[in-house]
Structures are given as structure tokens and as C-alpha cells.
């Protein structure tokens, strides 16, 4: 007989982007699926949706009201499992679920990239590490999505259930690589010439994602050749300033600001290489989707990029701020079509074998099933 699960996050787009296959899996097992987050998106495979005013800033006073609403829901609904995501959504859910846990509710938290990590600013360790450690007492299972976070958690956190899964999964039947002739047709349909070299990056325009670095790199690349184009998908607070920067650098006609894209795979498949410039990542979906489409990747060094982008196999990572090396790697790719194809094929193979939705669902299923069995003393590991 099915049970009842609640998924929580700061915003409901998080569910649409990353968790629908796992919600559907619970429905297929006969479970009732609820979600709670900020936003008005209608989600499939959901029996009940609660709109909660969770704010991204942990210091927003609106989070007090969000906590009160979450606590009432958790106390009244008597969930078997609660799976919480995102830093603030995870914090509020675990605080609100203290009473529910005494009555049998199991709370799982997925860390999509700790804010404290090797090389992180000291303030991140002073603020986020104590918060995360204190929340462990209200957590039945901590899931990490990259190896560095998993090792850190095992070393520093003393709890039984610390698990590692390979991200949130990529639909490798949707994100596929195209034959050369098909890519040319797609380029033309989007307004580009066959010899235009398209660089792709999908990310929110914020300080962490660092699109300014890519604009400077594009300016450098086009000093020698004018056929390099940069496709930037996404929205965010720094979008307008990036548009202004492109104008000042004289590259506005070489940059396409795509905004939010429902069919992001179209632009990914049309591109020749993926670029990634963020300072911090857990395990970036944008990079995995690009690799699934057969694109080589040149990325700024961080733990999430480092885990996916294997030197001379799927692409390269370069030191933050090193535009010279970044541009030299891209220039090499422009001049070496065979290398592009080889790196892209390797990336596609890696995502299919390790990071696909099918593979990640298998990993999550093992975790979910053991909590669904309600065996308090079950010993299990699924690394």
C-alpha cells in the first residue's frame, strides 16, 4: 500500500527542472505526492501543491511565515517521507519537521553543493558550515551530488546515512548529439552560417555564474576571427548589465541573449562547444546537458566542473580568471574538428553511463525504498 511524500524547495521551478521523474516514480509506486515551495507553476505527477513564501535569503522576515506554514503542513499531513532541497528550503523544512520526525516521518535532504568547500571564502565556513552541521540532528539521510562534498560530509559529519548520487539526472533521450549535416541545418534555421563557431552557456545571470568572463573571452577570440558567437540562455539580476558590457566591448552582434528557453536542447545541439564560467558549482546540469549533446567543454575550475570535465577526454578546466588559457583551448577546438568530435563523444558516453536520469533514478530508488520499508534499524549503503 502506498504512502505519502512531500518534496520541498525554495522555488517550485526547482521541481520542474530536476525532480519530475522521481515524483512520477513515487506515483507509479502508488504513493501520494505533495510539494511545497514558492511559485505558481502547475506540476504533473503532483496530488497537492502548497505555495509557501520561502525566500532565497535566509535573513528575509518572510521566512518566518514560511516556517509556520510548513510546520502546520508537516504536523497535519503525517508524511512518511519528506525530501527537501535547496539551502533555505532545506533549512526551514528540517526545522519545521522536528515534531513530525518524532511521529515517524523520515526527512531526506539533498545538498546540491555545499557553500563551504575547499577554497571557499572563510565567511562561508563561518556561516554555512555550523548551520548545516546543526541541522543533521533533524535529518535522517543526507544526499550529496559530487564526490568532494561526499568526502567532506563523511569526514566531518557524524551520522549513519550519508549518501552520494550522481546529480539530478539528464534525459539522454532528449539531449542527444546531431550528425554534422543535421547540425548545419539547425544552425541555418537559427540564423547562423555553417562556419559560425557557436559557444553555449545556460545559467542564471548572477554574480556566481560570471557571464562577464565569457564576454571578455569572446572579445579576445574575435580579435583574430569574427565568426565566434556566444549563446547565453537564462535570466537574472545581471542580465542587463551583461548586455551593456557586450555593447562596451563591441561584441553585441556576436552575443545572443536567449532568455528563458523551454527547448534548451535546440540551442545546445546547434552549438559547437560548451563553456562554463561559474565560481561555484555542485554538479552543474547545464554542463551535463551539453555533454549529452556531444559538445566538448571548456570551463572555469571548480569542484562541479572538475568532476565532469576530464582533461583531454571531455574538455578542459582552467584557473579562474585565466582568459588566455581559456581562449587558447577554444581556438584549438575551432581548428581541430576531429578533436571536437572525440571529446564530445566521450562526454556523451560519460553522461549516458553515469549521469542519466535512468542511472540516477536507480541510485535514488535504493535510498527511497529503504525508507519506504520503514525499517528503523536497516543497515544500508549505496555509494
Question: What integer pLDDT is reported at residue 292 of this predicted model?
Answer: 98
| Average pLDDT over every residue of 329-343 | 96
Residue 157 has pLDDT above 90, yes or no: yes
Question: What integer pLDDT is reported at residue 378 of this predicted model?
Answer: 40
Give the pLDDT confidence of 13-44 residue by residue, as tens digits.
999 999 999 999 999 999 999 999 999 999 99
Q: Mean pLDDT of all residues in the chain?
A: 94
Question: What integer pLDDT is reported at residue 375 of this predicted model?
Answer: 44
Question: What integer pLDDT is reported at residue 59 of this predicted model?
Answer: 87
CATH code reported for the domain at 180-355:
3.40.50.2000
Domain spans, the chain: 4-169+357-372, 180-355
Q: Where does the pLDDT of residue 374 fall: very low under 50, low under 70, confident under 90, or very high at 90 and above?
A: low
Question: What integer pLDDT is reported at residue 339 of this predicted model?
Answer: 97
Q: Which fold has domain 4-169+357-372?
A: Rossmann fold (3.40.50)
Residue 272 has pLDDT above 90, yes or no: yes
Let me know if 121 is exposed, middle or buried by CB neighbors in 10 A (0-12, 13-18, 19+).
Answer: exposed
How many angstroms separate the most distant Cα atoms in the chain? 67
Question: What integer pLDDT is reported at residue 380 of this predicted model?
Answer: 39
Question: What integer pLDDT is reported at residue 376 of this predicted model?
Answer: 42
Q: How far apart are CA 155 and CA 37, in angstroms?
A: 32
The domains spanning 4-169+357-372 and 180-355 adopt the same CATH topology: yes
Helices (H) and strands (E) in the chain, counts: 16, 13
- Residue 191: all three cell numbers together: 540564423
Give the pLDDT confidence of 57-114 residue by residue, as tens digits.
888 999 999 999 999 999 999 999 999 999 999 999 999 999 999 999 999 999 999 9
Closest CA to 37 of 21, 25, 48: 48
When computed from its CA atoms, the radius of gyration of the chain, rounded to whole angstroms, is 22
Global pTM reads 0.91
Q: Where does the pLDDT of residue 225 fall: very low under 50, low under 70, confident under 90, or very high at 90 and above?
A: confident
Give the pLDDT confidence of 338-347 residue by residue, as tens digits.
999 999 999 9
Give the pLDDT confidence of 234-268 residue by residue, as tens digits.
999 999 999 999 999 999 999 999 999 989 999 99
Amino acid at each position: 500500500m502506498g504512502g505519502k511524500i512531500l518534496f520541498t524547495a525554495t522555488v517550485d521551478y526547482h521541481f520542474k527542472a530536476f525532480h519530475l521523474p522521481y515524483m512520477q516514480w513515487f506515483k507509479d509506486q502508488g504513493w501520494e505526492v505533495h510539494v511545497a515551495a514558492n511559485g505558481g507553476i502547475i506540476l504533473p505527477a503532483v496530488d497537492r501543491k502548497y505555495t509557501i513564501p520561502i525566500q532565497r535569503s535566509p535573513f528575509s522576515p518572510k521566512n518566518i511565515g514560511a516556517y509556520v506554514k510548513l510546520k502546520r503542513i508537516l504536523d497535519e499531513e503525517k508524511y512518511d517521507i519528506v525530501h527537501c532541497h535547496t539551502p533555505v528550503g532545506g533549512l526551514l523544512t528540517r526545522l519545521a519537521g522536528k515534531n513530525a520526525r518524532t511521529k515517524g516521518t523520515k526527512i531526506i535532504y539533498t545538498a546540491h553543493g555545499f557553500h563551504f568547500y575547499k577554497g571557499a571564502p572563510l565567511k562561508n565556513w563561518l556561516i554555512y558550515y555550523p548551520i548545516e552541521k546543526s541541522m543533521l540532528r533533524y535529518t535522517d539521510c543526507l544526499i550529496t551530488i559530487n564526490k568532494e562534498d561526499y568526502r567532506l560530509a563523511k569526514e566531518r559529519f557524524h551520522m549513519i546515512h550519508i549518501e552520494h548520487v550522481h546529480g539530478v539526472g539528464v534525459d539522454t533521450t532528449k539531449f542527444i548529439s546531431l550528425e554534422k549535416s543535421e547540425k548545419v541545418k539547425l544552425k541555418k534555421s537559427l540564423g547562423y552560417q555553417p562556419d559560425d563557431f557557436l559557444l553555449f552557456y545556460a545559467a542564471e545571470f548572477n554574480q556566481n555564474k560570471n557571464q562577464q568572463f565569457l564576454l571578455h573571452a569572446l572579445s579576445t577570440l574575435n580579435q583574430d576571427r569574427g565568426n565566434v558567437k556566444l549563446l547565453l540562455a537564462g535570466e537574472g539580476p545581471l542580465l542587463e548589465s551583461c548586455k551593456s558590457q557586450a555593447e562596451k566591448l563591441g561584441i553585441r552582434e556576436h552575443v545572443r541573449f536567449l532568455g528563458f528557453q523551454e527547448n534548451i536542447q535546440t540551442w545546445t545541439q546547434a552549438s559547437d562547444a560548451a563553456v562554463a564560467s561559474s565560481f561555484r558549482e555542485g554538479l552543474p546540469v547545464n554542463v551535463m546537458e551539453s555533454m549529452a549533446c556531444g559538445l566538448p567543454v571548456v570551463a572555469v575550475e571548480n569542484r562541479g566542473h572538475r568532476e565532469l570535465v576530464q582533461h583531454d577526454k571531455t574538455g578542459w578546466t582552467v584557473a579562474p580568471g585565466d582568459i588566455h588559457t581559456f581562449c587558447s583551448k577554444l581556438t584549438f577546438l575551432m581548428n581541430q574538428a576531429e578533436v571536437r568530435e572525440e571529446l564530445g563523444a566521450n562526454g556523451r558516453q560519460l553522461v549516458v553511463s553515469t549521469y542519466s536520469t535512468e542511472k540516477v533514478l536507480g541510485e535514488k530508488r535504493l535510498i527511497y525504498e529503504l525508507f519506504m520499508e520503514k525499517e528503523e534499524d536497516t543497515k544500508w549503503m549505496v555509494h
